[in-house]
A and B are shown apart, each in its own frame.
Chain A
Amino acid sequence: GQSLEQPSEVTAVEGAIVQINCTYQTSGFYGLSWYQQHDGGAPTFLSYNALDGLEETGRFSSFLSRSDSYGYLLLQELQMKDSASYFCAVSNYKLSFGAGTTVTVRA
């Protein structure tokens, strides 16, 4: 099966940088994805890493180390609208999600 670990919650102020770590155990690993979900909304895709290294998309970056079974999502220049839950997910033949990290951005 799959198991993923990520922190349950993070609080930071506007303009700060937050890093959400994700460690995983799985068989048949294809890649690591990140999803954002605002309260009451649908999860939306943020990024996908199939290879080691850093992927940057605007204020958000995602990193993967396959040898360490580890990845992280970096949120820069935090804004109030970034307050949401963030899920890492590993893919083999299906997508399996971590428990989620609630990010709260304070003014």
Chain B
Amino acid sequence: SAVISQKPSRDICQRGTSLTIQCQVDSQVTMMFWYRQQPGQSLTLIATANQGSEATYESGFVIDKFPISRPNLTFSTLTVSNMSPEDSSIYLCSVALAGVGGELFFGEGSRLTVL
């Protein structure tokens, strides 16, 4: 299994500012993903964080808005840039230990409210 720590757990942000979310895993993992979940909604994949290379973004998400770093196999950050109220959501870090088809482990999420 994997234990994932996310910071911050929640934050209230002002419109136009940026916030960086940190994700720390207790073991080295190849595959790390960032999801967004709006209250009462499904999980939407933002990007796959690749160690040593640029993240792979899903349709509708761009690097300028959601820059991602992956400096090593246990850590990643997601920045939500130039925030607007539409960015109010829960952002979840997840990892796969045995390929995409297997189990994903999730962090507890970072709940952002943008005023």
Interface residue ranges, A against B (CB under 8 Å)? 1, 30-31, 33, 35, 41-45, 48, 50, 87, 91-100
Contacts and interface: CB of A to CB of B under 8 A. Distances in A.
Contact of B100 (A41, A43, A93, A97): A93
Contacts of A42: 92, 106-109
Given A42-B92, A87-B42, A95 B107 contact: no
State the main secondary structure of chain B at its contact with A. Answer: loop
Interface string B48-77: 100000000011000000000000000000
18 contacts: A30-B101, A31-B101, A33-B103, A41-B108, A42-B109, A45-B105, A48-B102, A48-B103, A50-B101, A87-B42, A94-B33, A94-B45, A94-B48, A95-B45, A97-B42, A97-B43, A99-B41, A100-B41
A33 B16 CA distance: 37
Interface residues of B, number: 20
A98 B42 contact: yes
A33 B106 CA distance: 14
Contacts, number: 50
B103 A91 contact: no
A91 B41 contact: no
A48 B100 contact: no
B19 interface: no
A96 B44 CA distance: 7
B55 to A, nearest CB: 13
Contacts of B105: 45
A48 B106 contact: no
Given A30-B101, A92-B100, A99 B108 contact: no
Contacts of A50: 101
